[in-house]
Amino acid sequence: MKRLLSVLAAAVIVLPSICASKARAVNFPLKKPIQSESAVLINLDSNMVIHEKNADAKQMPGPLVNIMTAVVCLENCADLDEKVTIDESIYEYLYNYEYPDDLRFAEIEDGDVLTMTDLLYAMMLTSSVEACETIAYKIGKGDTARFIDMMNAKAAELGLFDTHFTNATGLYDPNQYTTANDMTKLTLYALDVPMFETIATTYSYTPSIPNTEHHENPEEWIWTHSNVMMNSSSNDAYSGAKGIKTANLDMAGRNIITMASRDGNKYLAVLLKSPLKSADGETAFYHIVDAMSLFDWAFDNFSYQTILADTAEVGELPVELADGNDYVLAKPKEEFTRLWYNEIDISTISRDKVEWYKNSLQAPVAKGEPLGKVTLEYSGEEIGTVEIVAVSNVERSASKYNLYVAKMFRKSRWFNRALLISFLLCAIYVLVCIYAYVVFKSKSKPMKPIYAVPKVSDKDRRRRRPQDFEEK
């Protein structure tokens, strides 16, 4: 349970940065079709995907898996300079592997002593199965299955929901799969992991420990990158190309993930499942051809263009109580610049989708006040959103405002409450007046004569002396 919670927590932290960093693909049309079944081409400077092909189709990654193997190793190895003694028993089961042509060895012998850094270079440059299995065994604390679990946990953390790993080598397994989109996400993440890019883009590397016992000429024990585009003496050399990983499987074709830069622009190409042979049955390397074709197309046909100038008027909004015009014009808060295909006129980009924060405004309105946002679309695909603001100040009309206040006062809840209170007070006053009048009338009535002389009893009258009456 704790492990699940930690994975979910990490996903909350990591996913927003990954998902937000990758702009939606506009999928511009290629001039020349590619042979690879799945592809993604992304500009690394703007994180804008400019072409996709079956990017969510599940494919076998082959040794592209080594990218995840490297990430898990780099993030879980406390000391990359730690020396490891190679134990052949960890990977000797591969000697009877069903598809021997898929195996890649780096001439690492049983008993050789190498650092973890050495093993990472051997794996990323040559797809060395000795290095892969040794890394998995070491980081998995003697259990490669535990390391595979770590790989899948990391995949879940990064949101690679169409990816599943079953081994650290990338060798054939029908239950091991990924997509071009997932491999793009993984690679973008890996490029930010310390040491990864340095290792994955190095053309040649000599192990730091000679191991002369098994290697008579250690100076000749050099590992070179399997990406021939980096080899300046190769017919397939491509200026500006770097790493990152190639992968071949008899059962799944050829894959490649590589970068190239030119004139300040940098692209990452992910190509999966290109054919192993041509239509004539000849061995083919379409993944290399496709990568170079995509890079040429991108470098030759894309440039940064102003899609929406900060002076462009994108709409108007009604303004009440205005002194003069009863509306305000809206423009972008800032200029919107985007990598764009040179052959497509930017006027074809729609900016009709405007969302206002309010349906109308009330003067005064200040210049630069946020009014809403405009969404830019091309062929129904969103390419960006820009906030729009007021072009100028709109002053308030005093006469219109006074009339408005007078009208609104009669409709205000305070006015209605005042009327109700006044009515209640008047009613109370009337009732008090009526009550006072009734009481006053009752006190002002004349007494009857019978009540004017005090009543004297017969007994008192007999007791009185005659002289009392005479005195009176």
- Among the residues of 225-337, which ranges form H helices? 286-301
Q: Are residues 228 and 372 in the same domain?
A: no
pLDDT digits (tens, 9 = 90+) for 407-462: 766 666 766 777 778 888 888 988 888 888 888 777 765 555 554 455 556 655 55
Mean pLDDT value across residues 322-346:
94
221 located within any domain: yes
- For residues 83 and 208, membership in a common domain is answered with yes
Pick the closest to residue 39 from 362, 365, 274 (CA basis).
Answer: 274
Q: How many CA atoms lie within 13 A of 73 on its CB side?
A: 31
Mean pLDDT, rounded, for 205-229: 96
Q: Are residues 262 and 351 in the same domain?
A: no
Predicted pLDDT at 68: 98
- Does residue 322 sit in the same domain as residue 252? no
Do 268 and 374 fall into the same domain? no
Tell me if 54 is assigned to some domain: yes
CATH number at residue 105: 3.40.710.10
The reported pLDDT for the residue numbered 18 is 41
Q: Mean pLDDT across the chain, nearest whole number?
A: 89
Produce one character per residue of 163-202: b if its CB has 16 or more CB atoms within 10 Å, e if not.
bbbbbbbbbbbeebbbbbbbbbbbbbbbbebeebbebbbb
**Concatenated DSSP letters of 104-144:** ----PPTT-EEEHHHHHHHHHHH--HHHHHHHHHHHTTS-H
467 has pLDDT over 60: no
β-pair type (370-378, 381-390): antiparallel
Domain CATH number, residue 350: 2.60.410.10
Mark whether 355 and 278 lie in a shared domain: no
**Residue 121 to residues 132, 231, 244, 302, 394: CA-CA distances in angstroms?**
10, 17, 11, 34, 65
The residues, ordered by sequence, that sit 6+ positions from 110 with a Cβ below 8 Å of its Cβ are 86, 87, 88
**Strand 265-274 and strand 38-43: pairing?**
antiparallel
Question: For the CA atoms of the chain, what is the radius of gyration?
Answer: 43
Residue where a domain stops, chosen among 277, 303, 329: 303
The larger pLDDT score, comparing residue 208 to residue 15, is at 208
Q: Is pLDDT at 279 greater than 80 in this prediction?
A: yes
User: Does the pLDDT value for residue 179 go beyond 80?
Assistant: yes
Last-in-domain residue among 376, 398, 420: 398
Q: Do 288 and 372 reside in the same domain of the chain? A: no
Residue 414 lies in a domain: no
Closest Cα partner for 311 from 297, 327, 296, 329?
A: 329
**235 and 329 together in one domain:** no
Give residue 265's pLDDT.
95
User: Which residue, 152, 107, 126, is CA-closest to 247?
Assistant: 126
Residue with the bigger pLDDT between 19 and 432: it is: 432
d(CA 325, CA 365): 12
Residue 416 lies in a domain: no
Is the pLDDT assigned to residue 162 strictly greater than 90?
yes
Answer yes or no: is pLDDT of 252 > 70: yes
Tokens of 164: 């599943």
Amino acid (one-letter) located at 59 = Q
Total number of domains in the chain: 2
Q: What is the distance between the alpha carbons of residues 311 and 257, in angstroms, rounded to a whole number?
A: 41
CA distance 388 to 288: 45
Task: Look at residue 436 in the predicted model and tell me its pLDDT.
Answer: 83
Question: Which stretches of 244-301 are DSSP H helices?
Answer: 286-301
Residue 467 falls inside a structural domain: no
Q: 255 pLDDT exceeds 80?
A: yes
Q: Are residues 118 and 200 in the same domain?
A: yes
Please give the average per-residue pLDDT across 286-297, as a whole number. Answer: 98
Does residue 178 surpass a pLDDT of 90?
yes
Same domain, 94 and 19: yes
d(CA 216, CA 240): 35
CB 36 within 8 A of CB 53: yes
pLDDT at position 5 over 90? no
Residue 332, helix vs strand vs coil: strand
For residue 360, which of 320, 329, 402 has the smallest C-alpha distance?
320
What is the structure's pLDDT at 73?
98
Q: Confirm whether 463 is domain-assigned.
A: no
Confirm if 332 and 369 have CB atoms less than 8 A apart.
no
Flag whether pLDDT at 466 surpasses 80: no
Q: Could you report the per-residue pLDDT of 348-372, keeping only the tens digit for each?
A: 999 999 999 999 999 999 999 999 9
Section 301-307 average pLDDT = 95
Domain-located, residue 434: no
- Does any domain span residue 151? yes
pLDDT at residue number 15: 41
Identify whether residues 13 and 72 lie together within a single domain.
yes
Name the pLDDT band for 472 (thresholds 50, 70, 90): very low
Backbone angles phi, psi at 307, to 5 degrees: -80, -35
In one-letter notation, the amino acid at residue 470 is E
Spatial separation of the C-alpha atoms in residues 444 and 452, rounded to whole Å: 15
Within 10 Å of residue 113's Cβ, how many Cβ atoms? Answer: 16
Tell me the average pLDDT across 151-168.
98
Domain boundary among 380, 398, 416: 398
Which residues contact residue 109 at a Cβ distance below 8 angstroms, ignoring those fewer than 6 apart? 86, 88, 211, 214, 215
Q: Which structural domain range is residue 318 located in?
A: 305-398
Predicted pLDDT of residue 356: 97
- Of 187, 254, 247, the C-alpha closest to 41 is 187
Residues with Cβ within 8 Å of residue 312, at least 6 apart in sequence:
331, 332
CA–CA separation, 355 and 374 (whole Å): 6
* Pairwise pLDDT comparison (451 vs 387), residue with the higher score: 387
Q: How many other CB atoms are found less than 10 A from the CB of residue 229?
A: 24
Edge to edge, what strands does the sheet with 265-274 contain?
A: 48-53, 38-43, 265-274, 253-262, 241-249
Alpha-helix runs per DSSP H in 304-396? none
Whole-number pLDDT of residue 1? 43
Helices (H) and strands (E) in the chain, counts: 12, 17
Whether residue 346 has pLDDT greater than 70: yes
CA atoms lying within 13 Å on the CB side of residue 385: 9
The answer on 138 and 238 residing in a single domain is yes
